[in-house]
Every structure is written in C-alpha cells, then in structure tokens.
Chain A
C-alpha cells in the first residue's frame, strides 16, 4: 500500500463549482497535513496547513483532516479558471520519533476550471 494516495484526475469543473480533492494515507505517525498548488513546471506553493484532525478555512479554501479514517480533503468554493493547477497533498510526521519533517507527497490532482 502506498504511503499517500491521491487520484491524479484530471478533474474538470465549470467555473463557480465546488471542488473536492482528497488523499488517503497509511502512516498513522503523520501529524501535519498540507495542500500545495503547483502550476506547470513551477515549484509547489503552500495553500493550507493543518495540524492533526479538524477543519481549517481560508477564504474559498477549506482543509479537513480525519485521522481516524486517514483521510484528508481540500474544498474550493466558487472555483475560478485561475484555480486550474495541480493540487498536491503532503504530510509529515514532524519530528516524532526522530523524524525530520520530511514531506511525503501524493501524486497530485490536475484540476481544470472551465470558464
């Protein structure tokens, strides 16, 4: 079983739609959960960060973590064509057990928002 699984898409939605992106993971040591946005041939840009379980909202973006199910989600409300990009989930065990905060990434989901 892969450590982090993410549907690669592509996911195509009309402008204004609510987008739901998800990842599952197998390592129960993960404590820190991030969503990055990556445009083609660019570096990952941090969107959302969540520690442990719970919800976090920032503007049109909401991140959810359910540690009991080992499942994380990113919701984008009122999606815009400028949201078209690859969305990467990433997670880390932090410094638990001597770990060094290395990030384990999903494969990324390619999102296209059609005007």
Chain B
C-alpha cells in the first residue's frame, strides 16, 4: 500500500540554524500539507500546497517558513532560523485530487537546542 514517507525521523539543531524537512507524498496525489504537533498538544495545520504554490497558510507559518516541491516526488519544509519553540513533530500529508482524505507520514521530530 502506498504511503507518505518523511526524512529524517529525528533532527536535532541549534537555535538559529536552518533545517529542511523532507517528505515524499503518495505518487498520484496532488495536494500536499504540513502540520505540526508540539509535545502534548494537538496537531495544527501549517500550510497547504497545490499546483506548485501555497494555497493556504496558518498564522504559525511566518516568513521563517517556506515550502517547495523541487522535483516530481519531494515536498520540503524549510525553517530558516529555528527557535526553541519550533521543537515539535512535523507531519507531511497528501491527498488525491478526487478524494477528501489526507494521508499522513510518520513525522520528523525536530529538537531545537
């Protein structure tokens, strides 16, 4: 069964450093999302991406965040200058054009020291 994959599974970085989180969505999906979950809190929407552009972003997704689909398979989330409060699990999700259901990857645990 096709699945969303994410790398790395765990990333440790120093405050102020740039990080790139990578996702490979399900191959025939057209809509891509990033969510985050701070430990003990609920899953929160960050950004949605369709047709090579951002279609919606949340208040959390400020100028420090960017997303890109650099080729036909990868979808990345970049945080330019990480803060302590960016420590969280980051989940990528994808959705087929004909469906209303999103499928999630296993997540990347980001730890900012």
Contact = CB atoms under 8 A, between A and B. Distances in A.
A94 B56 CA distance: 13
Contacts of A43: 4, 6, 91, 104-107
A49 B101 contact: yes
Contacts of A85: none
Q: Is the interface of B mostly helix, strand, loop or mixed?
A: strand
Given A41-B89, A42-B106, A43-B91, A101 B44 contact: no
Contact of A88 (B43, B100, B102, B109): B43
B110 to A, nearest CB: 13
Interface string A91-110: 01010000111111111100
Contacts, number: 61
Contacts of A88: 42-43
Residue of B42, B58, B93 with most partner-chain A CB within 10 A: B42
A36 B104 contact: yes
**Range of interface residues on B (Cβ < 8 Å):** 20 to 34
Interface residues of A, number: 25
Given A102-B45, A103-B43, A108-B42, 12 more contacts: A34-B101, A41-B107, A44-B104, A45-B104, A46-B101, A46-B102, A51-B100, A100-B50, A102-B33, A105-B42, A105-B44, A107-B42
23 contacts: A32-B100, A41-B109, A42-B107, A43-B6, A43-B105, A43-B107, A44-B43, A44-B91, A46-B103, A51-B100, A88-B42, A88-B43, A90-B43, A99-B56, A100-B48, A100-B55, A101-B95, A101-B102, A102-B48, A102-B58, A105-B43, A105-B44, A106-B42
Interface of A: 32, 34, 36, 41-46, 49, 51, 88, 90, 92, 94, 99-108
Interface of B: 4, 6, 31, 33, 35, 41-45, 48, 50, 55-56, 58, 89, 91, 93, 95, 100-107, 109
